[in-house]
Amino acid sequence: MTIMKYFYLFSFISIVVTIFPACEKETGPDELGGNTRIALTATDSSSYISGDYNGQYFSNSSMTVKSNNDGIVTYVAKIDVSQFSTDIKIKAINSITQLMDYYKFDSSGGVFNIVNDVLTFEFKLKVTSEGYLDYFMEGKPWVIGRYADGVGTKYSIKNSKGEILTREITEKTGIDEWPIGFWLIKTSKIEQMAPADDPVIDKVIYRINHKFGLVYVEYQLKDGTKLKLNVWAWFI
């Protein structure tokens, strides 16, 4: 083979190697690989939760890993609602009940109650070294976000009504600017519009980080109010 043929062959291989990683990868809404045995999901590990509802701050709340079955993680969340009025507590119960019915949550064996001003509920996520996936849409697996995916990546799912629902990465900060505990971290921002007939939620915003996992969730509600939750896995 002549020198020029070697040159053309090398050039072609270089172009292929450069282009193919940049091509958009077709992935389903239920695809999530990675290691399922990670520090973030060790049984009995508990993340700290704080936040605010429509400007009213709350803390003394947590999200604890009850079990981890090959990456299917059962969490028990406990939200201190003692600072809220009776009306808001009743609204919270009604809203969650409506959502459970609308999205056909499987609540069998689950936990959902308010005792001594602590709202307790149980839910499942798939959590791996690659990202997060939930089962809130009629029990179907739906990726929240994968850490390695770039801006513009979409995760879509079809509900029982035939509607296509989409989550999209709309921002990757690329710099340490999101506050968590005593640090600033990089995050990916994922946005999701709720179905038009969702009885409670209008839009959901998530932020994830490759080390601390899910660090923020914001629910923009139909009545114009917002529920913001900051999650800190302080043990990582």
Q: What is the pLDDT of residues 41-99, one digit of tens each?
A: 999 999 999 999 988 999 999 999 999 999 999 999 999 988 888 898 888 888 988 98
Model pLDDT, residue 93: 84
Across the range 18-41, mean pLDDT stands at 67
Model pLDDT, residue 209: 97
Q: Compare 55 and 111 and report the one with higher pLDDT.
A: 55
Q: What is the mean pLDDT of the chain?
A: 86
Question: 28-232: what fold?
Answer: YmcC-like fold (2.40.360)
Which H, E and C letters describe the chain, residue by residue? CCHHHHHHHHHHHHHHHHHHHHCCCCCCCCCCCCCCCCHHHCCCCEEEEEEEECCEEEEEEEEEEEEEECCEEEEEEEEECCCCCHHHHHHHHHHHHHHHHHCCCCCCCCCEEEECCEEEEEEEEEECCCEEEEEEECCEEEEEEECCCCCCCEEEEECCCCCEEEEEEEEECCCCCEEECCEEECCEEEEEECCCCCCCEEEEEEEEECCCEEEEEEEEECCCCEEEEEEECCCC
Q: Is the pLDDT of residue 10 over 60?
A: no
Q: Is the pLDDT of residue 185 over 50?
A: yes
Q: Is the pLDDT of residue 9 over 50?
A: no
Model pLDDT, residue 111: 63
